[in-house]
Amino acid sequence: MLDTSQIAAASKILHDHWRAGTKLRALVDAIRPRDRADGYAVQAALEKTSREKLFGWKIAATSEAGQKHINVAGPLAGRILAETVIADGGIASMTGNEMRVGEPEFAFRMAHDLPPRSSAYSVQEALDAVGTLHPAIEIPDSRFADFTAAGEAQLIADNACAHLFVLGPATSADWRTMDLVEERPTITLRGERYTGHGRNVLGDPRVALAWCVNELRGLGLMLRAGEVITTGTCHPPLPIAAGDDFAADFGVLGKVSVRFA
């Protein structure tokens, strides 16, 4: 288990690389996280670098394609810092971004706190705490030059590859009565159209929501009203480049877009 000084040192290195848009091969042995607990401890220290209230949480690798993309066996939770959020229809800089993919996602904004407790939250309990559903786009990246070789613990420390995030408007549709598993958002990119599928997100975006709620519960963390959970890509990560417009149409659930520069 890393001690306080090792956690702080690892966090500072990752934060400095994020700010500079630079990469590293790996954290040195003395401060390298060895397991998920170490990884989350380093990630928690990253949150302290932000002067703003935490915007929310992301889940990496909720699809088989996402897991293969970063070479992990299952989902990872990461923090969405307020300064990384881009307005719907806004411009995302590609500077320093080596992963270079966009991901259409279902995002939930919480209406009620979910405090840590000894027993797991059910999917229904997680949904009962949700206020609104939003279409979203995540633009992940890693501070590791070869993120496929970094391993689970380092990727969690690396904020689960969080980088930039676009939140669309809250849907006015009655999403609670809909089968999100069978929702098929359409993504338009460079004149091509791609079709996502709700089942790609841990089988159901609502199940992914509950997974994140319980991952935080296991860490002793409070999920707070107003925070957003984005549940992972519903389409295999799509390659992006400067000049691209990325638009995701979730049908009655709404639309969200971003331009890369």
Residue (of 116, 84, 86) closest to 256 by Cα position = 86
pLDDT at position 66, please? Answer: 80
The mean pLDDT values, 10 residues at a time, for the chain of 261 residues are 97 96 96 97 96 97 84 94 98 96 98 97 98 98 96 97 98 98 98 97 97 98 98 96 98 98 97
Q: CB burial class (10 A; 0-12, 13-18, 19+) of residue 4?
A: exposed
Closest CA to 60 of 43, 83, 41, 82: 43
Amino acid 201: pLDDT:
96
- 66: tokens are 């996402």
pTM tops 0.85: yes
Structure-token pair, residue 196:
């996502």
Sheet of 91-92: strands edge to edge? Answer: 91-92, 255-260, 245-249, 186-189, 192-195
